[in-house]
Structure 1
Amino acid sequence: MNAKKLPIKQPFIDGYKHHAMPLSIISLFEESEPWILSNYIQLYTRKYLQDVHWLDFYLLDTVMNRPNNPFVTVQRTDRTVIGPFADPIEVIIRCIEQDKYVPIEGDQYYLPHCNSYMQHHRVSGFLAYGFDREQEIIHIMDYSYTTNNRFESLTLSFAEMRQSFLSEVPGGRAQRIWMLKPVSKPKYVFNLNVVQRLLEDYVTGTNHAELTIQFQDHPLIHTADVVYGIRVYDHLEHYLHLLLEEQAGNNVLPFQVLWEHKKCIGKLLRYLREKEYAAASDHMIEGYSAIEDGAFIIRSTFFKYTKTGDKACLQRILERMRHMAAAETAILSEVLVQIKARCRESAERIGFGNS
């Protein structure tokens, strides 16, 4: 086979690649939207200000590493296994010929679309989903850091791909490679009880995953600096105050994640009403749409601040965020009342009402 491109879909969550890569495959399934919406409810901060990715969706693990993903089967290995025995280009092509997508960790030093190109070595991920032997290119999804600065379709030459994957990044781990194959007939049943638990954790700023036996040894559960749910607004406000005092560097990523979270919750509320899981009123839907819009304005205002240095932008974000947190708590608390009532009704119908 001389050329092949697997189907791909732009995900509505693409701020971080560890979400965007698998979701660009999973989103191909019509049935995936309720699964995405019921998993992307909780937020948390970790390694606050120590890592630019300190605000993220709370899934305990990446989508690619979750054992209960109903849409793709996952295999994983690393450079030390493949490198000595096979040409990575042929491994990638063989996978794609078998309808397997290939998320790869490579060295950005050899990737022309990255800011680190020919500057310094850094491990980063991208998703291979196609090839062309005649043109000697691999089709990938990655951020176009040097041009559009968004997650999109790009190409790498065979030579660039090979160098990037086989490079030994000083002080870094051996680069990993995944093989993701879509399930032919995925089975997923929407679970309102899971939505209730995660939404309640978000509104109350708590996490009850530690009560689940299989997660009790997970390192994230026992990390002291983790903050959950609505309480992440406290870290966002604190970060803005540090910027006002010129004690922190610019980082738009938390505000990108904040906006993506509001988009997810807005979609969830509309889905719950459409499927009659909750009688969300027009007032509630419109109120949350205003929160979505507010998060987008916050993101845009922060971008303006990074260009102009105008601290009035930060003050406007602070004021908007305080109103947004209060409005979000009020709306989601009301939705929770409806969801809990529906869950009780369902339990009573199957005979658990008096247990």
Structure 2
Amino acid sequence: MNVVQLPVFNPPLKGFLRWAYTLSITSGHEESMPWYYSNFIQWSCTSKILDGDRQFYVDFFRGKPNELNFNNPFLLTCSVNYSILDSLAVDAWPKFFADQIRNGYYCVVFLDESKLSTAACYQKHHFPHHLFIYGFDWDQRIFYVSMFDNKEVYRNLQISFQEFQDAIHSMRHLLKEKYTDDHHTYFYKYEPHFPYPFDTTSVIDQLQDYLDGETHLNRINYIYDNEQAFGIKVYDYLQMYFDAAEKNDPRLKDRNDLRNLHVIWEHKKMMSDRIGYMVEKGIIPYDEELVEGCKDIAKRAMKLRDQYIRHKIREDKKMFEMVKIRLDQFKNEELVLLQKLINMLDKKLVVI
């Protein structure tokens, strides 16, 4: 087999690649949908916004461990680090990964993306990052990959074996110089071992955590510090962030306003889609206030993101005021709508 492409699907979440990569494998499989809609409820953000040390981000939260590492029950996961792969000559890496793909494994390789001509950082600055590889053409000497391209659009692309080797070689050098830690390389095979029913109890727990602004996920293994905020409290930190962004506060590290707004939209769309799924499957009855309310939040969140894109092209001095107004609206509306959803799910459990 000189050409192999494993099936990939358009992932429903793209704000961070830890979600996009694994969901691009599983989201096209109907049997994974109950698990998908039972998850991706909580979110978190960094609480130290102006210390100049960490970039502020907001993201879905599913517990402390790395999402790439054994967190999707439909994926058989293996991981290795550069110490294990050190005995492999750089020019042998293409065959090694092609062999894994032949065996049905998707590969997520930790490398220096600045050596890839498809990347936004190409020849600009080192960028240790994970690259998703789902196929190859041995005759053309290319890998089929998914990534954010040089216009920061997530899509499927092709990279040459030579660029791949250059990115590996550079990554080895960066690790030797202690420029970064080794974030490991992962291999995934889709294996649905057992049915995963929709987990009403887990959904209620996550929703309650969200409204309480806390998390109980995986506390048996990790103690949570005060550098993260959860659930409804995230809105307060988003307000602080955009206030600082409006003032161009120099203490903000690596600003990424647009990604934050994109993740806000993904989070609201995910909740709206989940409610639609629960109604469709008869888990909850149709309720116009709940369904249309969450749908409207998602629409306004998408519009807010799109308005910000236009603001980046042609400055709109009212943009930051609009962001703050919308964030307040989303927070206040969710307090009502999500409590209503919890009550509906509680009634479902009592009936069962």
Q: Determine helix, strand or coil for the equivalent of 1:74.
A: strand
CA contact (8 A) 1:269 1:280 kept: no
Are residues 299 and 48 of structure 1, via their aligned partners in 2, closer, same or farther at CA, if it must alter by over 3 Å? farther
Using the alignment, how far apart are the partners of 2:312 and 2:42 within structure 1?
A: 28
Shift of 1:158: 0.5
1:56 maps to which residue? 59
Partner of 2:144: 139
The Cα of 1:315 is off from its aligned counterpart by 0.7
SS, match of residue 65 in structure 1:
coil
Q: Which deviations, in whole Å up to 9, do the C-alpha atoms of 1:49-96 show, x marking residues without a partner?
A: 3544621111113332135x3211000002222232351111110011
Cα deviations by residue, 1:144-183 (Å, 9 ceiling, x for unpaired): 1x23x22110111001111212322241123521110010
Aligned equivalents of 1:260, 1:158: Cα separation in 2: 34
The residue aligned with 1:102 is: 107
Tell me which residue corresponds to 1:330: 336
Q: For 1:254-273, what aligned pairs fall within 5 Å after superposition?
A: 254-273=260-279
**TM-score, normalised on structure 2?**
0.90
Establish whether residue 307 from structure 1 lines up as the match of residue 329 from structure 2: no
> What is the letter of the counterpart of residue 22 of structure 2?
P
**Aligned to 1:252, which of 246, 258, 262?**
258
Instruction: Verify the 8 A CA contact 1:79 1:166 in the aligned structure 2.
Output: no
Cα distance between partner residues in 2 of 1:252 and 1:73: 34
Q: 1:64 to 1:244 in 2, by over 3 A?
A: closer
Partner of 1:15: 15
Alignment of structure 1 residues 273-312 onto 2, 5 Å: 273-312=279-318
Match for residue 32 of structure 1?
32
Within 5 Å, which residues of 2 pair with 1:169-208? 169=174, 170=177, 171-174=179-182, 176-183=184-191, 185-208=193-216
How far residue 17 of structure 1 moved from its aligned partner, in angstroms, is 0.6
Who is 1:91 aligned against? 96
Q: Does structure 2 retain, via aligned residues, the 8 Å contact 1:104–1:175?
A: no
The one-letter amino acid of 1:113's match is T
Q: What is the identity, as a one-letter code, of the residue corresponding to 1:10?
A: N
Q: How far does the alpha carbon of each residue in 1:70-124 deviate from its partner, in whole angstroms, 9 at most, with x for none?
A: 2110000022222323511111100110010001111022111223212222201
> 1:31-50, CA deviations, whole angstroms, 9 ceiling, x for partnerless residues?
22221221100011125435
Q: What secondary structure does 2:120 align onto? A: coil
Identity %: 24
Map Cα deviations across residues 242-284 of structure 1 (whole Å, 9 max, x no partner): 1222214452121111111111101111111122222241232
* Alpha-carbon distance between aligned partners in 2 of 1:340 and 1:202, rounded to the nearest angstrom: 16
1:153 match: secondary structure: strand
Which sections of structure 1, spanning at least 5 residues, go unmatched? 347-355
Cα distance change, pair 175–232 in 1 and its aligned pair in 2 (3 A): closer
CA contact (8 A) 2:70 2:77 kept: no
Q: TM-score, with normalisation over the residues of structure 1?
A: 0.90
Contact 1:269–1:285 (CA<8 Å) still a contact in 2?
yes
> Secondary structure in 2 aligned to 1:227?
strand
Distance 2:333 2:158 in 1: 44
Task: Name stretches of at least 5 consecutive residues in structure 2 with no aligned partner.
Answer: none
State the Cα distance separating 1:327 from its structure 2 match: 1.3
**C-alpha spacing 1:52/1:152, structure 2 compared with 1 (3 Å):** farther
Most deviating of 232-241 and 306-315: 306-315
* Alignment check: 8 A CA contact 1:304 1:313 kept: no
AA of the residue aligned to 1:105 = F
Secondary structure in structure 1 of the residue aligned to 2:189:
strand
Distance 1:47 1:165 in 2: 34
The Cα shift of 1:215 comes to: 3.0
Tell me the CA shift for residue 186 of structure 1: 4.3
Give aligned pairs, total: 337
Query: Contact conserved, 2:70 with 2:76, CA < 8 A, in 1?
Result: no
